[in-house]
Structure 1
């Protein structure tokens, strides 16, 4: 089907309008973890599976972005399937050992959402989601014979891992603060809001036909970088024609092939879920870990919001600014989709496989990296299909959704 808007360009006025719509739509921050090796992020899927293109009224890209921004679905439930392929090598079970070690150390709990939901960064997963207004949400991660549930009900956040029979609990005087730890992008809506933060004059935004997702008629919003050098090929979002809710989100890499992640509803209902959906009782014999820092974090965040004024949401941080505030000494160079975050670890570069002691860990490090050199000296580029990172031998890190050449160029200039 021919696109509703086939032009690649976006005028300055349109870019301003797109940014305004993006600010209204964006509420969450994708956590980007740089551990010296690589960074993990969430993007999305191959071609949208559809059963016939529905005949819908024409709509412009700006109108569709506004529709997403104004979407106010308070009650819903459904099933979301997420498949992620960052192109990382097979760790041969090493990742499970590391995860178990992390969970078993200190006061950590396998039910803590900050560690549990990072599993969404690899493989294929099925989620059950439900919401009833801003104070009640539930996400359940179904894995084999086990289930992990994260429930936000008023001032309480409960995490429960049925496999280990462990419970995580946090409370906050501010229900929005209690939900803070739950804000891990896991649905097409979360991911779309993140993607729209990148819409500026370096971006082409068009509406290209229609699709049907989970039995709902939807428009296809396509977001593409105009710049070369980005690892992002395009993002495709299926937007529900009636509610404006993103139903499916697709990120395909510029290198081609399968999408980096496939996240979309396979079933969705906009009826109010039963109140019992959000009830939680600690199972008999379960180990309960209380997050005593949650209230302190909430108060600190509230104080920060107050300090910056009640209209802070109208002055949303750009993605690079938000990341910069999360890492000391971090600078962002470049513009738009070619932005590169750089910081100094204050130490040496990554060890080689032999320096790491060989074995599974050493093999993993060697399989990830490409040795490079330039005016900056020498270093190693660690690759995924989306995020790449260059770590120089003197400990400087350059990371972004850009190719290897762009990282080397940035290191030479730096």
Structure 2
């Protein structure tokens, strides 16, 4: 799923589709009759009311510290990315970021790691991407009237509770039970808690819980629980937050000593956007043409238990990427069945099956579901 960057849209206004609220209010999903009260002094709110609150939320500014933690059952794989302070570190362990927001054209995210820091800053039409470990910064200006859809900016924004909850709410449909629970306290603020639960027993996801600020109506915390788990496998939460508008100096990039700044002209940016749009259109056409081919990825099932099926590209066994993939696959347990033989990764929230004949099946489902799809 492509994540739209916080720098190309109202970052703190929920982009929950209107249909999502309509589905819950109209009964398409199972909206629980329970109501939430984060505190005895707060009015009770139903699940449908909370969805409307979130959809209409708007703040002029905020700053805070966001902590993201993930225990996906990656084992040794998680150690490959921890502490780097870049976007790959979000896959495992605990990560911290500082965020600032002062309107649609002023935003900053600083992803902090023990080995480095990555900052993404937008100030008006100026956008900077700085990586401390590489001592480099990329600077470009957003052309007037153009949407900034830079992939790395979008990836950086997935650390915020807003973006994490966007994906959860996008899953609301008849396969989801929606309810509320009791009190929640996040970053010292009262919050209501909205609970999304898959109804399909084949899903590894037990619940997604959204803690919604009782006054400002933005998500302060998102927890994703594996089935039957008492602790979240993924948590994205504000540890500290202020709704005061940050000072303008927070959005002024000052290159540290020794940093090489790479400039992109407006013409280069416009050409890049045009090339990106052209490439996207061509990719879409190729996808349509290849849809009937055996090697094209296929979606099996719907909702929370959707499985992605694909064939690994044929490569020379001596190729470095092929060797790396073979090495990683070899670290996984061997499995077999009527579908053949292969290797299985069974995480807390998702499973991946790589068969010896070059097929891959992945989804937030039990291994048994993957075996059925592979048969």
Question: Is the TM value for this pair above 0.5?
Answer: yes
Report 1:148-297 matches (<5 A): 148-173=118-143, 174=145, 176-177=147-148, 181-184=152-155, 185-254=158-227, 256=229, 258-289=231-262, 295-296=270-271
**CA contact under 8 A between 1:172 and 1:178: conserved in structure 2?**
no
Select the residue among 103, 106, 129 that pairs with 1:133.
103
Alignment match, 2:373: 410
Report 1:93-112 matches (<5 A): 95=81
Alignment match, 1:47: none
Once residues 178 and 334 of structure 1 are traced to their aligned partners in structure 2, the CA distance between those partners, rounded to angstroms, is: 30
Query: Cα distance, 1:371 vs. partner?
Result: 1.8
Q: Which moved more, 1:159-168 or 1:266-275?
A: 159-168
**CA contact under 8 A between 1:139 and 1:149: conserved in structure 2?**
yes
Q: Which moved more, 1:282-291 or 1:258-267?
A: 282-291
| Count of residues in correspondence between the two structures | 328
1:18 matched to 2:34? The reply is no
Once residues 397 and 357 of structure 1 are traced to their aligned partners in structure 2, the CA distance between those partners, rounded to angstroms, is: 16
Q: What is the CA deviation profile of residues 198-227 of structure 1, one whole-angstrom value per residue up to 9, with x for unaligned ones?
A: 110000000111212112111010110000
1:299 matched to 2:283? The reply is no
Sort the Cα spacing of 1:91 and 1:345 in 2 relative to 1 into closer, same or farther, 3 A. Answer: closer
Normalising by structure 2, report the TM-score. Answer: 0.76
Alignment match, 2:3: none
**CA contact under 8 A between 1:77 and 1:268: conserved in structure 2?**
yes
Sort the Cα spacing of 1:239 and 1:301 in 2 relative to 1 into closer, same or farther, 3 A. Answer: farther
- Unmatched 5+ residue regions in structure 2? 1-18, 29-37, 282-287
**CA contact under 8 A between 2:82 and 2:92: conserved in structure 1?**
no
Normalising by structure 1, report the TM-score. Answer: 0.69
Q: What is the CA deviation profile of residues 148-203 of structure 1, one whole-angstrom value per residue up to 9, with x for unaligned ones?
A: 21112233321222344222334431563155531221111111111001110000
Q: Return structure 1 stretches of 4+ with deviation > 4 angstroms.
A: 13-16, 91-97, 289-297, 300-306, 355-358
Alignment match, 2:12: none
Alignment match, 2:113: 143
Alignment match, 1:393: 356
Alignment match, 1:334: 301
> RMSD of the alignment, in Å?
3.7
Alignment match, 2:33: none
The structure with higher relative contact order (CA 8 Å, sep 6+) is 1
